[in-house]
Chains A and B, each alone.
Chain A
Amino acid sequence: MRRYFSRKLLIYGLTFFVAVTVNWMIPRFMPGDPVASMVARANVNKPEAVEAMRAYYTGLFGLDQPLWQQYANFWGALLRGDFGVSIWLFPTPVSEVITRAVPYTLALIVPSVLLSWVVGNRFGAYAARRRLLDNTVLPVGYVLTAMPYMWLAVLLAWAFGVILGWFPVAGGYSFSMRPNWSVTFLLDLLHHWALPFLSLFLVALGGWAIGMRNMIIYELESDYSNYLAALGAPSRLIRRYAFRNAVLPQITGLALQLGVLVAGALVTEIVFAYPGLGSLILKAIQNKDFFLLQGTFLFIVLGVLIANFIIDIVYVVVDPRTRAGMAGAQA
């Protein structure tokens, strides 16, 4: 058991290292000079002043040092929890900008991922044994899961926001309000949350339902199901076993899909101008704010890695076969 987890931790550690490195590289080798754009934004005409500002900003962000030093500094700052200062919202620290956005993204991703997984599995298992449902609703599932996130988001915003006017189409809360803990504000928050949540939920739901349907059919035709049926066990028991075993690959699927789901959530946020990490990334790119970009990416990578690790642990708990593998397998 310890071997297994130490190996897993090593793999996750390596992934993290590579992710951080790539993360550091991308903005630095991206075209465009952030310092130049900051100076330009200041609208100064005197050449000496421009030169002074350039020198100040370059020194502030450490861009005058050789690349390897920048890289080392980056790691050093990272380990102290310092992501640097945002260029777009100068001089707010990146960590503060991210902390403000994270609750919105989490409130979107966590319920939509978990709920779509649970509901999709239940529904897929149910549809697998009802021909009518299998022939009508599952094709809808195929359409849903094949739909790009932003496309469904745009459709929903158009239908429920513009045409019907039931939901607001943009923002995390009404412009007329200030964030506070009153019931009115929380309701307003929920009102704005509904459409982005629904679009994420629906796209993921179709995929889980289809996967579960196929797995359940496979499990119901497996040898242990046939044996139980031959001994006259009621179908309730057989289905319970089949469901439990069919859920296992779905857990792996969840681990694999996590990155895609997070990416989908980011795009959806942009469509709804939802003040989470996705909108932050867009703003960071538009303003060549690569400290903010780095910080956001890093945060997402860290989140996905942690979620994957949790799923790994869950898998070990629910599937005895992985435990048996750990005792013997050296792979």
Chain B
Amino acid sequence: MSLLVSELKVHYRTLRGDVRALDGVTFGLRDGEILGLVGESGCGKSTLGKSLIRMDGRMRRAGGTVVLDGRELPIDDDRAMNAFRFREVSLIPQYAMSALNPTRKLRRMVGELLRSRGAPLDAEELERRMSQVGLPREVLDRYPIELSGGMKQRMVMVISTLLDPSLLIADEVTSALDVSTQKAVARALLGFRERGYVKSMIFVTHDIALTHHIADTIMVMYAGRLAEKAPADVIVKKPRHPYTRLLLDALPEVGVRYADRRLEGIAGSPPSLLDPPPGCRFRARCPIAGDECAEDPPVAELTPGHHVACWKV
């Protein structure tokens, strides 16, 4: 196991009380594994991604531990965490288009960043990695504003993985891209793993279809908790949790016309995480909910590697 997250609880402090964005999540990540993290907005997937590298000021760890390569990550100690950032855990942010300082040429910016982390700039290696994602070396002598959105995205990907981190968090990296660029980004990420630039990866997204192509394992989250986690094929072909099933049903299928039959969504919305009701959090929207659902469902391992949190399976 390269990453072991156990019972992680992260709350957001607000004026009206704590929002339990992450409420006891446990999972592991093997060396070389790519985990796709999916769920609707507000399910806690981005919070999980952030918690592993840099909590913002309103976030607070309410419990649980994160162990990476045998060492515990001090995730709620901003200073102590600095030693791990970039070298052990790295991030491709959601906002890659605006992640680069607009008034510095890239070569200088990368050099200054690396020097500040005590790592010399290996220009040759940098250029080799850039060419692997299809960026010409001249890009280094330009300002970020002179690059296209896709180029900026790839540049950020190269920068984030320069120090060969053990864990890479890719947060919604494909959300703002067109389909062909999405594919290129997915390929580049797989290439990073192949060449050993990163050991394991968490791919946060709401795009199940794309996740299926690049992830080994998919973890579905709902309202701050794990709903189902299984190998990618199993999630897509034989989902067990009712939420996963409805989520997949909500996807349009290729070759089907939706003129006659309306595309089904999931009625209702997730519960407020400010003071969530006890029991299974999907209960109110679940078509098969019963009386036992008033109690928290434990995460059960149905077959090796297939975890589901539901009383009905």
Which residues in A have their C-beta under 8 angstroms from that of B86? Answer: 231-232
Closest A residue to B86 by CB, please name it.
A231
Asked whether A231 lies within 8 Å of B117 as measured between CB atoms, the reply is: yes
B83 touches A232 (CB 8 A): yes
A62 to B91, CA, bound (A): 77
| Cβ-closest chain A residue relative to B143 | A320
Contact status A223-B102, CB under 8 Å: no
Given contacts A224-B100, A224-B101, A227-B99, contact A233 B146 (CB under 8 A): no
Q: Contacts of B84 on A, CB cut-off 8 Å?
A: 232
Which residue of chain A lies nearest to B84 when distances are taken between CB atoms in the complex? A232
Task: Tell me if B104 is interfacial: C-beta within 8 Å of chain A.
Answer: yes
For B112, what are the chain A residues with a Cβ–Cβ distance below 8 Å?
237
In the complex, what distance in Å separates the CA atom of A226 from the CA atom of B143?
19
In-complex Cβ contact of B98 among A223, A230, A321 (8 A) = A223
CB <8 Å contact, A223 and B117: no
The number of A-B residue pairs with CB atoms under 8 Å apart is: 75
- Docked pose: A228 CA to B83 CA in angstroms: 14
Q: Please encode chain A, from 223 to 266, with 1 for each CB lying within 8 Å of some chain B CB and 0 for all others.
A: 11011111111101100010011001000000000000000000
B95, CB-defined interface residue at 8 Å: yes
In the complex, chain B residues 85-119 whose Cβ is within 8 Å of any chain A Cβ: 85-87, 90-91, 93, 95, 98-105, 112-113, 116-117
Contacts of B8 in A (CB 8 A): none
A69 within 8 A of B: no
For the complex, give the distance between the alpha carbons of A217 and B113 in Å. Answer: 21
Residues of B with C-beta under 8 A to A233: 113, 116-117
Query: B91: which A residues are within 8 A, CB to CB?
Result: 227, 230-231
Rounded to whole Å, the gap between the CB of A240 and the closest CB of chain B is 9
B145 at the interface (CB under 8 A from A): yes
Q: Which residue of A lies closest to B88 (CB)?
A: A232
In the assembly, what is the distance between CA of A232 and CA of B77, in Å?
A: 12
The residue of chain A having its C-beta at the shortest distance from the C-beta of B54 within the complex is A230
> B103 contacts which chain A residues (CB < 8 A)?
241, 244-245, 248, 318-321
Q: Which residues of the other chain, B, contact A319 by a CB distance below 8 angstroms? A: 103
Docked-complex contact A226 and B93, CB < 8 angstroms: yes
Q: Roughly how many angstroms separate A231 CA and B265 CA in the complex, as a whole number?
A: 38
Interchain CA distance A223-B95 in the complex, whole Å = 7
- Per-residue CB contact flags for chain B residues 73-87 toward chain A (1 = under 8 Å, else 0) read 000000001111111
Cβ B102 vs Cβ A227 within 8 A: no
Chain A: minimal CB distance from B80 (Å): 11
Given A231-B90, A233-B113, A320-B145, also A224-B85 (CB < 8 A): no
Q: Chain B nearest CB: distance from A67 CB in Å?
A: 52
Asked if A107 is an interface residue, CB under 8 A from chain B, the answer is no
Q: Is the pair A237, B116 in contact by a Cβ cutoff of 8 Å? A: yes
Q: Is the C-beta of B174 less than 8 angstroms from some C-beta in chain A?
A: no
Bound Cα distance from A236 to B83, whole angstroms: 16
Taking a contact as CB atoms under 8 Å apart, the answer to whether A241 and B104 are in contact is yes
A228 CA to B91 CA, complexed, in Å: 10
Instruction: Assign chain A's interface to a size class.
Output: 20 to 34
Tell me whether B145 and A231 are in contact (CB under 8 A): no
Q: Does B244 contact A (CB under 8 A)?
A: no
B95 and A231 contacting across the interface, CB-CB below 8 Å: no
A318 to B103, CA, bound (A): 8
In this complex, which of A227, A231, A237, A245 has the most chain B Cβ atoms within 10 angstroms of its Cβ? Answer: A231
User: Within the complex, which residue of B85, B146, B156 is in contact with A324, where a contact is CB–CB below 8 Å?
Assistant: B146
- Are A230 and B102 touching (Cβ within 8 A)? no
Let me know if A231 and B160 touch, CB within 8 A. Answer: yes
Is the beta-carbon distance between A232 and B101 smaller than 8 angstroms?
A: no
- Asked if B53 CB lies within 8 Å of chain A CBs, one says yes
A231 to B116, CA, bound (A): 10
A219 to chain B: closest residue by CB: B101
Residues of A contacting B85 in the complex (Cβ-Cβ under 8 angstroms)? 230-232
Alpha-carbon distance A232/B165, docked complex (angstroms):
13
- Among residues of B, the one whose C-beta sits closest to the C-beta of A323 is B143
Residue A37 at the chain B interface, CB threshold 8 Å? no
A300 → B minimal CB distance (Å): 33
Q: A222 an interface residue at 8 Å Cβ cutoff?
A: yes
Which residue from B53, B83, B102, B105 sits with its C-beta under 8 Å from A321? B102
Decide yes or no: A230 and B93 within 8 Å by CB, A224-B98, A237-B112, A241-B101 being known contacts: yes
Q: Least Cβ distance of B171 to chain A in Å? A: 10
* Cα A259 to Cα B204 with chains together (Å): 52
Give complex CA distance A308, B27 in Å. Answer: 61
**Across the interface, do A245 and B93 meet the contact criterion of CB distance under 8 Å?**
no
How distant is the Cα of A233 from the Cα of B54 in the complex, in angstroms? Answer: 12
Q: Are B113 and A224 in contact (CB under 8 A)?
A: no
For the complex, give the distance between the alpha carbons of A305 and B53 in Å: 51
B-contact bits for A301-331, CB 8 A (1 contact / 0 none)? 0000000000000000011110010000000
Question: Which 5 pairs between the two chains have the least Cβ-Cβ distance?
Answer: A232-B85, A227-B99, A223-B98, A231-B86, A223-B95
8 contacts across the A-B interface (CB closer than 8 A) = A226-B93, A226-B95, A231-B90, A232-B81, A245-B103, A320-B105, A320-B145, A321-B102
Given contacts A224-B98, A226-B54, A321-B145, 10 further A-B contacts (CB under 8 A): A222-B98, A223-B99, A230-B54, A230-B91, A233-B113, A236-B116, A241-B104, A244-B103, A245-B103, A321-B143
